[in-house]
Amino acid sequence: MQVLFILLSFVSLAASLAAAFLYAPTEAAMGIIQKIFYFHVPAAYTMYLSWTVCTVASILYIVKPAEKWDMAAKSAAETALVFAVVVLVTGPLWGRKSWGAFWTFDPRLTSVLLFTLIITAYVLLRSLSSGETERRFASALAILGACIVPIIHISVNKWRGQHPTVIRNGGLAPEMAQALIVSIVSFTGLYILLFIRRYQLEKSRRQLAALTDEAAAMGLLGDSE
């Protein structure tokens, strides 16, 4: 089943590439560099989706601590970081052509950077320690990060900046909108695949650690020279 899902993910990614470069028309003003749009926007959407999963799992862990919620939150946070990096790489590349600079302290860019730093802090905290105190603090950090998401969304419309406004109905040519939908579906499938694989890896690691501790307590592990 997982092999089939992996194949479908690769097929959907190939379809998004074809839709972006072969189907969607080239934007008149920016040219080929505008194609980054079909990966930058879906990556941002998937970053938000992944952090939403992390936040929900963190809230559930605070309410009723359970390993499955902690594993889900940790897996979702690491996946969110992957897509956040994609956003921060593709954005400046697009901005260099649009604004003449890789980076400006635009309201949206700055808020996205802050959000990425929170995600990074969460991942580092959970990587360095797995104690109960660290788990609860990380859960609170996830909720704090979720509070920044609405700020990112409204920053373009509420504060002056160079970042393009949020896409509205009729703002894209039909072929561009269709290519964007294909890319969003593709990135969503990729996210689900990465999250499932990361969750399974985390579960296997914890099972192995539990078995190791049990074997050590029974004296089944010899002293290493």
Residue 75 · residue 57 · CB < 8 Å: no
pLDDT number for residue 224: 47
pLDDT tens for 50-65 read 999 999 999 999 999 8
Sequence-distant (≥ 6) Cβ neighbours of residue 4 within 8 angstroms: none
How much is the pTM?
0.84
Chain segment 91-114, per-residue pLDDT in tens:
888 777 766 667 777 777 888 888
Between the CA of residue 140 and those of 31, 71, 149, 204, what are the distances in Å? 43, 15, 15, 26
Which string of DSSP letters, residue by residue, matches 151-195?
HHHHHHHHS--SSPPPP-TTSS-HHHHHHHHHHHHHHHHHHHHHH
Residue 6 to residue 167: CA distance in whole angstroms: 30
Regions of the chain short of the pLDDT cut 50? 166, 224-225
- Which residues, 6+ apart, have CB-to-CB distance to 202 below 8 Å? 71, 74, 75
Half-sphere exposure of residue 124: CA atoms within 13 angstroms, side-chain side: 6
42: tokens are 């879906």
